[in-house]
């Protein structure tokens, strides 16, 4: 009898342990399960423009897009995919259609408002500045919801509904932002370094206001890239040849990079303040500067050639001229382009190649360059 009692107690104890183990395992699975975002809404410049510039202003010509998967018209300043494309792949979502692109676009899982040349402030290379992109998103959201409400009163769904966002839960979407580089680049071209540095607080004040507007529209999950090492862009040295003392040990222009780092420092402070002001939102600040600088500094070890060289375009003009043609020795037209884009970090002297974008995406999407250090799929958890 005593033996049976002991056996029963042992059995209960083991059963309880198994239950606790299962519960702990289930909790661990939940903890490490990626969040399923309803959509991605992207804002930025040519670093993440997937078709706005080509739809609104002028075509993006070949050989841009030559490495892009499938038969795809060139819409990006790159031989293939951008970091935003690798983000969608990581989250198992389709590539983003540009909001302004009326041909073949599908907004089931988000939209892209980024435009080549865009800046945070209205003054810059493009009229499609950050505030206008947010206004476009606001209109996109309100019109989408209005169309859904309109079609819900009809017996048959309107045909256009098949291309609208699958979910009206805009608070469950991921909002990705990569903008600010052109504010600094435009400043370097139009004023002196000290003046550029003095504009940073106002630039970031407008950036903060923009994020708060997105929050008021329901945005809760933000993935924010800081600005890259502008002084390392090959075309930065085409017109004004730097003196040796102007360069750091990696061969990048010190002054431009120092101002970019100051921009990023103040950006981090802005994000910190927003976390306190908007506690129900999740802000992830991604140190793209350090990731890009690490790639450039260790280019050869990573299988790339000299990072000061670029693949597409001529080397005697400061502006991007990828797509320009020449007559070869056989009398035929061909592009000014390298044979192996995957060996280059820079595609056209300003924008990164697909191979570089893939390398960078692999580095940053796991959260190792993020504050807080969270993978992109885990922000909502």
| Whether residue 348 lies in the annotated active site | yes
Strand partners, 224: 177, 285
Q: Which residues pair with 41 in a beta bridge?
A: 111, 175
| Residue 46 falls in the annotated catalytic set | yes
Q: Is 287 an annotated catalytic residue?
A: no
Cβ-count burial 121-139 (b if 16+ within 10 Å, e if not): beebbbebbbbebbebbee
Q: Quote the crossing angle between the two packed helices 130-152 and 193-216, to the nearest 10°.
A: 10
Report whether 165 contacts 144 (CB < 8 A). yes
DSSP for residue 293 = H
Paired residues of 112 in beta bridges: 42, 98
246 and 255 in contact (C-beta within 8 Å)? yes
Query: H helices of the chain, where?
Result: 2-32, 52-56, 83-90, 130-152, 181-190, 193-216, 254-277, 288-297, 354-364
> Among 49, 85, 183, 348, which one carries the catalytic annotation?
348
Q: Say how many C-beta atoms besides its own lie within 10 A of residue 264's C-beta.
A: 22
Q: Which of 38, 183, 185, 351 is catalytic?
A: 351
Residues 6+ apart with CB under 8 A from 113: 41, 42, 43, 52, 98, 99, 133, 134, 136, 137
Q: Which of 46, 118, 126, 353 is catalytic?
A: 46
Which residues are identified as catalytic?
Answer: 46, 348, 351
């Amino acid at each position: 009898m005593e033996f049976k009692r002991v056996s029963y107690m042992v059995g209960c104890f083991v059963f309880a342990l198994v239950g606790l183990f299962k519960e702990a395992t289930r909790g661990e699975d939940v903890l490490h399960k990626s969040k399923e975002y309803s959509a991605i809404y992207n804002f930025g410049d040519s670093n993440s423009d997937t078709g706005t510039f080509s739809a609104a202003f002028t075509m993006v010509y070949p050989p841009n897009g030559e490495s892009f998967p499938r038969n795809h018209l060139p819409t990006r300043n790159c031989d293939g995919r951008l970091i935003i494309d690798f983000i969608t792949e990581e989250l198992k979502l389709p590539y983003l259609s540009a909001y302004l692109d009326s041909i073949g676009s599908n907004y089931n899982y988000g939209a892209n408002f980024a435009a080549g040349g865009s800046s945070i402030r209205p003054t810059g290379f493009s009229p499609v500045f950050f505030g206008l992109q947010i206004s476009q998103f606001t209109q996109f959201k309100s019109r989408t919801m209005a169309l859904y409400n309109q079609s819900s009163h009809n017996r048959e769904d309107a045909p256009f509904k098949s291309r609208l966002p699958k979910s009206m839960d805009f608070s469950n979407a991921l909002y990705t932002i990569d903008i600010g580089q052109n504010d600094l680049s435009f400043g370097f071209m139009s004023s002196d370094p000290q003046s550029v540095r003095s504009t940073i607080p106002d630039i970031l004040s407008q950036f903060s206001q923009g994020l708060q507007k997105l929050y008021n529209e329901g945005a809760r999950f933000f993935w924010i890239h800081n600005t890259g090492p502008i002084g390392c862009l090959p075309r930065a040295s085409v017109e004004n040849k730097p003196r040796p003392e102007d360069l750091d040990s990696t061969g990048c222009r010190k002054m431009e990079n120092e101002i970019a780092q100051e921009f990023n420092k103040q950006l981090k402070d802005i994000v910190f303040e927003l976390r306190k002001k908007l506690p129900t939102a999740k802000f992830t600040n991604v140190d793209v500067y350090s990731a890009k600088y690490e790639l450039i500094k260790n280019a050869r070890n990573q299988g790339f050639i000299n990072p000061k060289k670029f693949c597409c375009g001529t080397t005697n003009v400061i502006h991007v001229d990828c797509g320009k043609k020449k007559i070869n020795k056989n009398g035929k037209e061909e592009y000014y382009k390298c044979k192996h884009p995957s060996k280059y970090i820079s595609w056209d002297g300003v924008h990164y190649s697909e191979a570089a974008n893939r390398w960078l995406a692999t580095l940053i999407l796991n959260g190792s360059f993020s504050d807080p250090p969270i993978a992109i799929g885990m922000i909502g958890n």
